[in-house]
Amino acid sequence: MSCHAPVQDLSQEPQFPAPMGPKPLRTVALIGPPNCGKSTLFNRLTGLRQKVANYPGVTVEHHSGRMKAIGRNDLTLIDLPGIYSLATYSEDARVAVEVLTGKMPGVPKPDCVLLVLDATHMNRQLMLAAPVFSIGLPTLVLLNMADQLEARGGKIDTLAMAHALGHPVALISAANGTGLDVIPEFLLRTGSRPDDGSRPVQLPVLQSAASCRNWATQVTARTKYQAPAAALWTRRLDNVLLHRVWGPLIFLAVVIAVFQVVFLAGQPLSDWLTEIMTRAGTQAALLLPDNWLRLMLRDGLWNGVQSVLVFLPQILLLFLFIGILEDSGYLARAALIADRVMRAIGLNGKAFIPLLSAYACAVPAIMATRTIENKRERLATIMIAPFMTCSARLPIYTLIIAAFIPNRLFLGGLIGMRAMTMLGLYLLGFLAAMGTAKLLNSSVMKASTAPFILELPQYRWPTIQGLALRLYDRGKLFLKKAGTIILACTFIVWMLSVLPVHGGHFSELTSSLIGRLGHFIEPVIHPLGFNWKIGIGLLSSIVAREVIVGTLGTLYGMDPATHSLGLQSALRGDMTLGGAVALVVFFAFAMQCTSTLAVVRRETNSWKYPAVQFAYMTVVAYVAALVTNQVISRLF
C-alpha cells in the first residue's frame, strides 16, 4: 500500500476563517471486519440521524450521520463497509481504502478512525489493524463484545495491548452501551492536539495475510490475551437447529410461523387502521364545501392513499421478523441449510442473502449482488431477484386474500387457510426464481461455481434498539412512497376518471378518459378474468406494485354503485374467484416496478437486461394468470 503525502484540497474546505490552533475535527471513519458489531456501534453514536446513500460509481452503501448521540453534532461519522483486509480484491475494500486516503469523490478525508474489533477472537481480528494503522490517521481501537468475552472467561490487558499496538485501546460493548465514554474523550483529545498519543510500531508486510497473521498472534501472545471458551449455547442450539432432521423442519416451521403471525396479528391492526382513517376522512370532508374539491380530496386522494397506508402494520411485522432472524444469527444457518438447493440450480450460496433480502425489496437485493464475484452468477441472481415476493406485493395479496379466502383454521387453529395461501404465493415466486435460474444456467449463462464461504456468527439476542431502527427506516420509506409516488398516481387516476368536463359537470366513470382507456384494453385482460378497473390498476402499478391498491381504492370509491362499500366488499362483488386468484398470480410474476428496472439498468450498465427481464416476466405473468383463471373458473 503506498502512502501518499496528504494533499490539501481547498475546494473541499468550508470557507470559514481559519481557527486558531490545530485544525478542528470534522469527519470520523468507522471501520471493522464483518460481524464485529460495527453497525450497532454506529447506531449508538448517531441515533436515528443517519443518511444512507451510495458511493459515486459503485453500489457499496454509504452510511453517515452526525454523532449526535454523544453530543458531537459537529462531527460526521462515516460507516465503512465491513472488511477483513484492505487488500483490494473486493469492491468493499477498494471503497474503504479510497475513503480513508481521501480519494473518494464527495467524501471528505477522515480526520481520525474508530477501529472496531471483536474481542472474542483477537488473533483473527487484529489482522485488519495493521493495514489500518499504516494509513497513518489517529486511530482508537475499540474491542467490542466485552460482555461476551467476560462471560466466557476471556481476558484482555488493554494497557498492554495499547502499548503493543501504539494506539489507544478500549474494551466496550456496543450492544449494552458500556465503555463508550472513551470515544468522546478520544475525539476531544485528538481535536485539541495533533498528536493523539499514537507511536510508531513495527508493522508486518501488509500484502501477505500470513505475515499479518503472525504479527497478530505475536501481539496477542505478548499481551497475554486469553481467548474465551467456545460459545456453549451456540453449539447446543446448532445441535438442534442444524440437525439432520430437525434443522429443515424448524426452518420450515419458522417460515410458516412468520406468515401466520403477519396475518393473524396484522389483519386486525390493519382493519383498525382502516376504520380510523375512514372516519377521519369522513369527518374532515364535512369541513369542506360540497363541491369538486371535496370529491377530489376524499374520493380521489384520501381513498387511494388510505387503501395503501393501511398495510403499514403487515409490512412492519414482516420486517420485524426479518430483523429478528438476521440479528439473532439464524439467517446464516438458513443460508447453510439452503445452500444445497441453491447449488442444484447453479447458484452460489452467497446468492442466498441477496435473494432473501429481495423478500423485502428487490432494489437493495440487486445492489447486494455485488458481493458475488462471478459475473455470470451475479447476472443470474439479478435476473431472478424480482421474482422473490417483495413487500410491495403484500398490499394486493392481503387485499385479495382477505376478500376471497375464507378464514378457516386447521390443526386446532395452528394453521389458517389465509396464511397458507399467502405462503403459497411466496412459494410461487420462489419457484419461478428457481426455474428461471435453472433456465439461465442450462442455456444462456453457464455458471462456474464460486466458493461458498460462510461465517456462522454466534447466536445473540436482537436488541430492541436495532430492531426499532430497522422498522423506523422501513416505515419511513413506505410512508414516503405513499406520500409521493402513490399520491401522485392516485391523483392522475382521479383526474382521468372525472375528465372530460361536460357543461360544467364531471364525466360519469364509464365515459371518463380512464373509463374509455379501461374499456379499450379490456379485451386483452378479459380472458384473465379482469374487468376494466383491474386493467387500469395494472397499468398504474407499472410504476410500483402498491399503486394498484390505491388506484382500485379511488376507482371503486368514485363508482356510485360501490361508493359506500369498503374496497374488499366492492371487489368481492365485482370479480370472480378465478379472476381474483389470477390477479395475485399475475402479481407474483410480473415486473411491476420502475425502481427495480432502473437499478438493473444501472447495475448491468445496459438497457438490454431490464428490457428482457420486463418482457419475460410480463409474458410469464400473463400466461400464468390466464391458465389460473381458466382452470379455476371451470372447476368452481
Residues near another protein (CB under 8 A) are 33, 84-85, 87, 89, 120-121, 123-124, 127-128, 209-210, 213, 227-228, 230, 234, 238-239, 242-245, 247-248, 332, 335-337, 339-340, 343, 349, 373, 449, 451-456
Q: Collect all residues with Cβ–Cβ distance below 8 Å to 444 and sequence separation of at least 6.
A: none
- Write down the least CB distance from residue 456 to another protein, Å: 4
Rounded to whole angstroms, what are the CA distances from 415 to 297, 400, 408? 41, 19, 9
- Write down the least CB distance from residue 210 to another protein, Å: 6
- Residue closer to another protein (CB basis): 449 or 510: 449
- Write down the least CB distance from residue 131 to another protein, Å: 11
- Residue closer to another protein (CB basis): 245 or 635: 245
> Distance from CA of residue 211 to its chain's centroid?
37
- Write down the least CB distance from residue 124 to another protein, Å: 5
The Cα 12–Cα 16 span in angstroms is 12
Q: What is the dihedral sign for C-alpha 343, 348, 349, 351?
A: negative
Q: Residue 48: phi, psi to the nearest 5?
A: -85, -5
The Cα 218–Cα 249 span in angstroms is 45
- Residue closer to another protein (CB basis): 159 or 210: 210
The Cα 626–Cα 148 span in angstroms is 57
In 3-state terms, what secondary structure has residue 144? Answer: strand
- Residue closer to another protein (CB basis): 120 or 139: 120
- Write down the least CB distance from residue 97 to another protein, Å: 15
- Write down the least CB distance from residue 457 to another protein, Å: 8
Output the nine-digit C-alpha cell for 359.
423478500
- Write down the least CB distance from residue 252 to another protein, Å: 11
- Write down the least CB distance from residue 116 to another protein, Å: 16
- Write down the least CB distance from residue 373 to another protein, Å: 7
The Cα 68–Cα 73 span in angstroms is 5
- Write down the least CB distance from residue 542 to another protein, Å: 40
In 3-state terms, what secondary structure has residue 501? Answer: coil
- Residue closer to another protein (CB basis): 234 or 328: 234
Three-class SS of 192-251: HCCCCCCCCCCCCCCCCHHHHHHHHHHHHHHCCCECCCCCHHHHHHHHHHCCCCHHHHHH
Strand pairing of 27-31 and 72-79? parallel
Buried b (16+ CB within 10 A) or exposed e, 490-503: bbbbbebbbeeeee
Q: Give me the amino acid identity at 102.
A: G
- Write down the least CB distance from residue 335 to another protein, Å: 8
Bridge partners, residue 30, by sequence: 79, 114
- Residue closer to another protein (CB basis): 245 or 286: 245
Which residue is associated with the grid cell 478525508? Answer: 109
- Residue closer to another protein (CB basis): 58 or 242: 242
Rounded to whole angstroms, what are the CA distances from 143 to 67, 157, 486, 552, 588? 20, 11, 46, 54, 46
